[in-house]
Structure 1
Amino acid sequence: MAWKVFIDGEAGTTGLQIRERLEARGDIALVQLADDARKDTAARLEAFAAADVAILCLPDAAVHDIVPRLAGTDTRLIDASTAHRVAPDWVFGFPELTPQARGAVASAARVSNPGCYASGAIALLHPLVSRGLIAADAPISINAVSGYTGGGKAMIGEFEAEGHPKHFVYANTQHHKHVPEIMKHGGLARRPIFSPSVGDFAQGMIVQIPLHLEGGLTVESLSAAYAEHYADARFVSVLPMAAYEGRIDPERTNGTNRMELSVHGDSENGCAVLVAVLDNLGKGASGAAVQNLNLMLGLDEGTGLTG
């Protein structure tokens, strides 16, 4: 039996990559609409009704419009937008977050896919805050760079045009939409300073959190905490500084659902940088959605994914 999956918004960047990961699978039958019916609400509702699971790859406003129309249906949902990432009645779709997270995703009717920057930041913060190695109210700064595909079709067009920018920093007013989920799921009680940027490469991402080593913390103890927390994680690995040979390439995990965590710095001078590397359209978006889908369907979480 093939599970029926509808991707609402499959023509967008995230939707396209989810479709690419699913269309060759024999255990998945995609419910698809003709191009001229993709914005037809009645046709979309029929597609939702035909699906076992639907994946929402839509702007927040469109998600808030369609979800109430699905009340009372049996179709399970994965929302790739920001709309429900801190909603109490939606399960946050980061299976590696806690020992209970995989089971929660597997049994959920509504799953909210994490944001790309947030995935890296939460992966770095949660194990340390939950163990008391970083205080929930500690002053945290998060710096990040993403490939331009994270900005959708408009930004892709901008970077593929002649005279395109090489790099820019944005969200300088400190109101980035990923901050609420970083705080909630990272365990922070104090708002972090978040400085994201976009580079002249299509896919890939580095998230960095600089840290003063206080209270007996060392580079080694932080690495050990990550290794313990992610010991059973297929798609999150912890690497030593030496693995990067001094330089960290944001594109090194592209095309996979893998996230790499590492701790850099010097315990003697008391300075460290926590680093997460991931494909912003892999573990940061489409790959994560497929991982969550697999769990919801009772399949091996790595089905159709490269780790």
Structure 2
Amino acid sequence: MSGILDSVNLRTQMVGQNRLELLLFGLETDQRYGINVFKVREVLQCPSLTEVPRKTTVIKGMAHIRGETIPVLDLSEAIGRPPIPESEERTCFLIVAEYNKRTLAFLVRRVDRILNTNWDQIMAPPAEIGSDNYLTAVFEYEGKLIEIIDVEQILADIYPASTIVSDDIATKEVRTQAEQHRVLICDDSQVARTQMIRSLESMGLKVTVANNGREAWNLLKDLAERDVDVATHFLMLISDLEMPEMDGYTLTSMIRSDTRMDKMHVILHSSLSGGFNVSMVKKVGADGFLAKFNPDDLAKVVVKRINAVNQR
């Protein structure tokens, strides 16, 4: 399993071209699931786990991996399926991943392969299935649908995050100034959108929402075609990196290549961590990078932008 993630340089070259690699895995049925390889640190056979007192059985225990103690989540149970029996854990695999500044491991039945594809082949789930699920995208492969799980929603349910902005950041003066501005946020994760909306609106900002890069681009293009100055209409765009149909890198590149909106202030944010994002942000011409999710960090970025606009 250690060799399944070896081609890091090749994957790095794909980013910014609306391409991605999915690590395919399985749980308790024949259904295949996918996770972006860039979120995966390693894949290994499940070692012996150390039990911990817990309120939820979703957390199976702790694994000691390369000198680090990492919580292990039963992904099957987390999405409402039967849990993996303790007697069968050692026949399963751990997908060690980084999300929202956390390192954790997902216990899965099997790991299949890495699939190279395009973001425009990844589709949002049908609206008819409703929002009460952990599905963030689907992808057709070999005549069957691969489901991409909204891990951010799962983690938010297990580790609820506060959306309250500190008063020393969102001061009364800041809130008064914020009421004059509108922010465009773009994210395919419902929990990420909700977190940002709550934090930004609590500061007094107006918020416009797009569910993926394609939707955001169509919105911006429509405004530009109606002679709206997009760069002043929105205080800023805060966009996720990984999204169905069009990723955040591609969205930013298209904004920068259109003279009607190329001055728009763009911040890219992601649950992916590491210096890699910073270099890619510069490559596509974004104005900054923000790691998910801390309400004060988000507020500081917005306040900095408000101050910059007021100094013009």
Calculate the TM-score normalised by the size of structure 2: 0.30
**Larger RCO of the pair (alpha carbons < 8 Å, separation 6+):** 1
Calculate the TM-score normalised by the size of structure 1: 0.30
